[in-house]
Structure 1
């Protein structure tokens, strides 16, 4: 016997709310990620992420408990997509190239 979504033990019929939720609440769960998973998704140093958060350039972390800090996965994904779009449109700031005339060894000659 196969179970469909209508007969699955934890499924809810349309119009019914999940246990512990009031009628009209969002039924979607927001996934959160901790620092190790954030590091796998965003290859930036902890200090860089912290500084960007302080400037409002990166999604803010929040505390689930006094010792557990998390980020919203949806907010991080939106941030990545915005950065990708800005980069493709050549709107993302880029670091300047090195000034080869300031080299101590093998200076550029013309």
Structure 2
């Protein structure tokens, strides 16, 4: 999402630590809240390579 420009860019705080601008992230969250929801469907289960197994403790 960040590479596609759909999320705020990170920046280096130190050589081993990256951070995001809080105001930009909060604005992104508000944008997402206001955007109309698309009909989000789950993944096509027919394309799964494995089938999930329910544990016996359920």
Q: Name which of 12, 16, 34 aligns with 1:67.
A: 16
Deviation at residue 68 of structure 1 after TM alignment: 1.3
Greater per-residue helix proportion: 1
Q: Relative to structure 1, is the Cα distance of residues 97 and 71 closer, same or farther in structure 2, using a 3 angstrom cutoff?
A: closer
Given the two structures, how large is their TM-score scaled by the length of structure 2? 0.62
What stretches of structure 1 move > 4 A for 4+ residues in a row? none
Query: Which residue of structure 2 lines up, in the alignment, with residue 96 of structure 1?
Result: 41
Q: Relative to structure 1, is the Cα distance of residues 67 and 93 closer, same or farther in structure 2, using a 3 angstrom cutoff?
A: same
Q: Counterpart of 1:53 in 2: which secondary structure?
A: coil
CA-based RMSD of the aligned residues comes to 2.2
Deviation at residue 96 of structure 1 after TM alignment: 2.6
Q: How many corresponding residue pairs?
A: 45
Query: Which residue of structure 1 lines up, in the alignment, with residue 3 of structure 2?
Result: 54
Contiguous gaps of at least 5 residues in structure 2: 47-58
Separation in 1 of the partners of 2:16 and 2:9? Answer: 16
Contiguous gaps of at least 5 residues in structure 1: 1-51, 103-110
Choose 1 or 2 for highest CA Rg.
1
